[in-house]
Structure 1
Amino acid sequence: MRKVKIADGVHMFTLNVDNVLFEGIWELASGVTLNSYVVQGEKTAIIDGVIGWDGVPETLYKSLGEIGVDPKGIDYLIVNHMEPDHSGWISNFMKIKDDFTIVCTDKAAKMVSSFYGEDRIRVVKEGDTLDLGRGKVFSFHLVPNVHWPDTMYTYEKSTKTLFSCDMFGSFGKMGDHVFDDEMTPEEDVFFECEAIRYYSNVMTTFTPMLRKAIQKARELDITTIAPGHGPLYRNNVEKIMDDYSRYSQYAEGAGKNEITILWGSMYGMTGKAIAHAETILEREGIKYNKLEMPLESESEMVATVFKSAGVIIAAPTYEYKLFPPVATALDELGRKKVSNKAAFRFGSFGWSGGAEKELAEIIERNKMKWDFVPSVEFEGSPKEEDLRKIEEGILQLIGKMKGKIVE
């Protein structure tokens, strides 16, 4: 666990984690950080305690001791968000200290009781404050459904630090650099990709509420944004707010100037048409991403489709329905409420069609409102006429994308 001084009396403890499924679902190709913060005045508060993925907080206790903080001297546990990657150490802490206060929202208080059987709770409302002494004063600001209904911001007034928990977070492990103004250009690109993966996998469903949370952050006088996962922002706090605003647009149909080919093929018939599609995209100078299902991870699939202004669904009919791995991927995108994407589908069939009907059912059931170019279906291997229609469809898709590009 690494210790970083943010300001006088304010420290971050960060732990890199990999080889886990985040929330038990999302594969983390580049890991994730768990960030915890300690603020010291006359009294001491810890914000969103890092536990280590195995639930054992001894690494946190050891790190606290190294900056002169006795865990038994902690007065307040600030719980911005009750998800156990931020709160799971409470049950252990209860064993070593019995006179602390948990500070959280009313919705979090119910979960503190049900998760950990704890009732030493101070419920805070919008704008409530907590004075630690020596100039350290917190104010609390509710941001429900980011991405749980209990979430709040904690803002420290003297240092103008926003402890934002999951908001403005990112996947990806951190190396020597933890602040935005320390990052190399390569690290900037890396954390941009990992922030998109984080938003798309974890936050997209709650995009309307995230927009409100972004606005609430803009109303505060912030010098440093300190999230629960990923880098800290102190050089240009507006950038991560602007990035999150852009991601909220990706969730509702905008995207980078690129197309994702979401595809599957049983015996190579649809695959032949994909090869043709690639030559058209290369000729037109359009960047594209190619995701073969089910070989691609769900985490990568969601993130890649999410950030693309256009989507090509290339999948055959299978047992009168859409090729199942592609259908499953589309259903997950629907659950995440990735809506209004410009899209085009082509695929082969054998003795009967049916893929097109199920595609329409998935889009309608999930209220995705994707804007489709007319599909192209072909029997067996694609013929010259089929390839010509696919080219026309791709050119129409590129046209639909033009009003959706947000870089």
Structure 2
Amino acid sequence: MKKLKIADGIHMLTMNVDDILFEGMWEIANGVTLNSYIVQGDKTAIIDGVIGWDGVPETLYKNLEEIGVEPKNINYLIVNHMEPDHSGWISNFRKIKEDFTIICTDKAAKMVASFYGEDNIRIVKEGDTLDLGKGKVLSFHPVPNVHWPDTMYTYERDTKTLFSCDMFGAFGRMGDHCFDDDLTPEEVDFFEFEGIRYYSNVMTTFTPSLRKAIEKAKTLEINIIAPGHGPVYRKNPQKIIDDYTRFSRYAEGAGKNEVAILWGSMYGMTAKAVDYVEGILKREGVKYNKIEMPQESDSEMVATVFKSAGVIIAAPTYEYKLFPPVAAALNELGRKRITGKLAFRFGSYGWSGGAEKELNEIMERNKMNWDFIESVEFEGAPKEEDLIKIEARVLELIKKMREKVLEP
């Protein structure tokens, strides 16, 4: 665990966590950071206290004492969000101190009681404040459905620091560099992709609510954005606000100048056409990413399709329906409300078709509103006339993608 000074009277405790499924389902190959913040005036508050994640109260003592905080003098535990990666420390803290107050929204208060049996709770609403002394005044700003209904921002007026919880966060472990102005170009690129993976995996279902949270952040004078996961933005906090605005556009059809090939093949017939399409994309100088299902994780699949301006779905008919791993992937994209993508689908069939019918059903059921170029289906292996049709459709996709491209 690292201990870093964010500003006068404000410290961050951060730790990397690996080998977990985020929310019990999302594979995070590059880990994730858990960030906790300490604000000190005459009184002391912990915000998003992930400290003690390891379940050992002595760890909490040690880390707090190393930044000059006496654990028994902590007065407030501020719960910006009740998901256990932000609140699971409450029971451990109870082993250290009895008389503390939990501060949270009304929706979080119900969960604090049901999850941890706590009842010493102060419920806050928009604009309520907490004066810690020595110029440290916290204000509270609910941002419901980011991505739980209980979430709020905490804002420190003196240093103009926004403790944004899950908002403006990213997957990815942090090494020696935890601030935006310390990141190398390679680390900037790393957190760009991990931010996309995080938004697409965890947040994109709630994009309308996130847009409201972005607008609420713009009403505050911000010098520092300190999220619950990922780097702290102290040099250019506007960057992560702009990134999240862009990500919200990806959720509704925009994307990078890239093609995602979402594909699966039973016996190699559809795969032959995928190989042919790769050649076209290389010839045209278009970046692409292949996502073979079911070999690839849902986390990677969602992130790759989410960030792409064009999607090619390559999947055969299976038992009169769409190849199940690809159908499941599309259903997950629909559940995540990734809408408005430009797409083209091709695939083989044996004795009968049927994949196209299920594809349309998935799109309609999930109200995905994808813009499809006319599909190409072929019996058995693709013939030359089939490949000619596929090439024409891919070139049409590339041309229409220009309207969807939105780069950093």
TM-score range, shorter chain: over 0.9
Gap change, CA 1:263 and 1:366, over 3 Å in 2: same
8 Å CA contact 1:201, 1:302 repeated in 2: yes
CA distance in 2, matches of 1:363, 1:61: 53
8 Å CA contact 1:168, 1:241 repeated in 2: yes
Give the CA RMSD over aligned residues: 1.0
Give the 5 Å matches for 1:326-365: 326-365=326-365
Give the 5 Å matches for 1:97-246: 97-246=97-246
8 Å CA contact 1:224, 1:232 repeated in 2: yes
8 Å CA contact 2:53, 2:88 repeated in 1: no
* 1:51-110 CA distance string (max 9 Å, x none): 455544543332001112122211000000000000001112123222100000011011
8 Å CA contact 1:15, 1:52 repeated in 2: no
Counterpart code for 2:274: I
8 Å CA contact 1:51, 1:85 repeated in 2: no
Gap change, CA 1:364 and 1:140, over 3 Å in 2: same
8 Å CA contact 2:72, 2:97 repeated in 1: yes
CA distance in 2, matches of 1:362, 1:85: 33
Question: Per-residue deviation at 1:282?
Answer: 1.2
Question: Per-residue deviation at 1:279?
Answer: 1.0
Match of 1:32 in 2: 32
Match of 2:3 in 1: 3
Counterpart code for 1:247: F
Question: Per-residue deviation at 1:365?
Answer: 0.6
* 1:267-288 CA distance string (max 9 Å, x none): 1000000011111111111110
SS of 1:404's equivalent in the other structure is coil
Residues 1:378 and 2:382 aligned together = no
Gaps of 5+ in 1: none
Question: Per-residue deviation at 1:22?
Answer: 0.4
CA distance in 1, matches of 2:56, 2:380: 57
Counterpart code for 2:238: E
Counterpart code for 1:385: E
8 Å CA contact 1:17, 1:53 repeated in 2: no
Residues 1:20 and 2:20 aligned together = yes
Question: Per-residue deviation at 1:345?
Answer: 0.3
Question: Per-residue deviation at 1:400?
Answer: 2.2
Match of 2:248 in 1: 248
SS of 1:162's equivalent in the other structure is strand
Which range is displaced more, 29-38 or 86-95? 86-95
CA distance in 2, matches of 1:209, 1:7: 30
CA distance in 1, matches of 2:145, 2:74: 28
CA distance in 2, matches of 1:204, 1:371: 19
Match of 2:70 in 1: 70
Instruction: Extract structure 1 runs of 4+ deviating beyond 6 A.
Output: none
Gap change, CA 1:130 and 1:204, over 3 Å in 2: same
Gap change, CA 1:265 and 1:406, over 3 Å in 2: same
Match of 2:59 in 1: 59
Counterpart code for 1:24: G
Residues 1:313 and 2:305 aligned together = no
Counterpart code for 1:290: K
SS of 1:290's equivalent in the other structure is strand
Counterpart code for 2:37: Y
SS of 1:60's equivalent in the other structure is helix
Give the 5 Å matches for 1:72-87: 72-87=72-87
Residues 1:297 and 2:297 aligned together = yes
SS of 1:288's equivalent in the other structure is strand
CA distance in 2, matches of 1:367, 1:51: 41
* 1:256-302 CA distance string (max 9 Å, x none): 01100000001100000001111111111111000110111110100
Match of 1:387 in 2: 387
8 Å CA contact 2:251, 2:306 repeated in 1: yes
CA distance in 2, matches of 1:12, 1:280: 49
Question: Per-residue deviation at 1:172?
Answer: 0.3
8 Å CA contact 2:13, 2:51 repeated in 1: no
Gap change, CA 1:286 and 1:120, over 3 Å in 2: same
CA distance in 1, matches of 2:58, 2:143: 31
8 Å CA contact 1:32, 1:171 repeated in 2: yes
Normalising by the residue count of structure 2, what TM-score does the alignment of the two structures yield? 0.98
